[in-house]
Amino acid sequence: MQTLTKCIITTNLREFILNESLLARILGGSAQRRYNLITHALMHN
């Protein structure tokens, strides 16, 4: 959650609707890593 939040804030994307391709560019890494980050953020929010 902190990684995703920090990336969104530092790239000034707070106003955007984030889709899968945009998250891939922001977070980098494998599809599995992104899936795990999003799942973790949703479960702990």
State residue 13's pLDDT score.
72
Residue with tokens 């795990």: 36
pLDDT in tens, 1-45: 567 777 777 877 777 787 878 878 877 788 898 888 788 878 876
State residue 45's pLDDT score.
63
State residue 25's pLDDT score.
81
Instruction: Check residue 11 and report its DSSP letter.
Output: T
Give the whole-angstrom CA distance, residue 31 versus residue 13.
Answer: 20
Question: Any idea where the domains of the chain sit in the sequence?
Answer: 2-43
Question: Residue 41 carries which side chain, given as an amino acid letter?
Answer: A
The answer to whether 27 and 33 have CB atoms below 8 angstroms apart is: yes
